[in-house]
Amino acid sequence: MNRFSLAGRVAMVTGCNKGLGQGLAVALAEAGADIVGVTRRDADETRGRIEALGRRYTGIAAELGRDAPSKIVDQALSQAGRIDILINNAGTIRRAPALEFSEADWDAVMDVNLKAAFFLAQAVARHLVARRAPGRIVNVASVLSFQGGIRVPSYTASKSGLLGLTRLLANEWAAHGITVNAIAPGYMATDNTQALREDPDRSAEILARIPAGRWGTPEDLAGAAIFLCSDAAAYVNGHALAVDGGWLAR
């Protein structure tokens, strides 16, 4: 018995056209899952990598924070038939000093990172409960779920809220066989950190604190995602697994 196999399961992954989401989707497909990708833009590269593994890819075009999560899940179910796993990966960020931060930037981040994540989880959980089927929900949090950061007030608030939400949902849905956990990436080489990586001083400060001595990559999340979505993690619930090269330990 392979406790880490995801064969026969369908995983919905948001924001998987590139970056961390693409890495997560490909990792789950490598473990045997078919993938439902929810993206704003075409995810042709992701589709190609997943289909090359012999897995099915179903694309759903949607804009989180604007399109109703219940409709996104209904569309996914009509095409894929079922959902066993949800990875709430899609996220956005706005950078400005707290004294200057705008309400529009606050709302834009909270709507995607926290509100949409909750209502997608709710819709998927309702489907699982109706099927009387176990399930896995993994929220992509952040090391800023534990720390304050600077110049990202809405991002920090949303990721801190997402960790609290992870724990609440774990409490409520464990009785249904649904586990809800989080992955907390550290400083990863993605579009969200491009400004930091292009700032020589800030990049040097960040790298100096990471014991691993490098920025993370999407592939670094693969093992954590497969574990939390598999039978091997059946008794892991309400936990945040940091994948940060040792950042939080420093």
Rounded distance between C-alpha atoms, residue 197 and residue 227, angstroms: 30
Rounded distance between C-alpha atoms, residue 51 and residue 47, angstroms: 6
DSSP state of 231: G
Beta-strand runs (E) in 4-101: 10-14, 34-39, 57-61, 85-88
pLDDT digits (tens, 9 = 90+) for 215-232: 999 999 999 999 999 999
Counting runs of H as helices and runs of E as strands, what totals does the chain give?
9, 7
pLDDT digits (tens, 9 = 90+) for 1-14: 899 999 999 999 99
Rounded distance between C-alpha atoms, residue 126 and residue 187, angstroms: 34
Average pLDDT (41-47) is 95
pLDDT digits (tens, 9 = 90+) for 155-192: 999 999 999 999 999 999 999 999 999 999 999 998 88
pLDDT at 16: 98
Instruction: Please state the CATH superfamily assignment of the domain spanning residues 10-242 in this structure.
Output: NAD(P)-binding Rossmann-like Domain (3.40.50.720)
Residue 57, token pair as written in the block: 């890819």
Rounded distance between C-alpha atoms, residue 227 and residue 232, angstroms: 6
Give the rounded percent of residues in the chain with a pLDDT score beyond 90. Answer: 96
- Domain residue spans of the chain: 10-242
pLDDT at 26: 98
pLDDT at 1: 81
Query: Is the backbone of residue 238 left (phi > 0), alpha (psi -120 to 50) or beta?
Result: left
pLDDT digits (tens, 9 = 90+) for 49-95: 999 999 999 999 999 999 999 999 999 999 999 999 999 999 999 99
- pTM tops 0.95, yes or no: yes
Of these residues, 57, 155, 187, 235, which one is catalytic? 155
Map residue 188 onto helix, strand or coil. strand
pLDDT at 195: 86
Map residue 25 onto helix, strand or coil. helix
- Note if 155 is an active site residue: yes
Range with lowest mean pLDDT among 61-75, 110-124, 149-163, 191-205: 191-205
Residue with tokens 């899952």: 33
**Other CB atoms within 10 A of residue 114 CB:** 23
- Sheet with 178-185, strands from edge to edge, namely 57-61, 34-39, 10-14, 85-88, 135-140, 178-185, 240-243
What residues have CB less than 8 Å from 82, skipping those under 6 apart? Answer: 10, 127, 131, 133
Q: Name the residue with higher pLDDT: 153 or 41.
A: 153
Rounded distance between C-alpha atoms, residue 102 and residue 33, angstroms: 41
Categorize the per-residue pLDDT at 197 as very low, low, confident or very high, splitting at 50, 70 and 90. very high
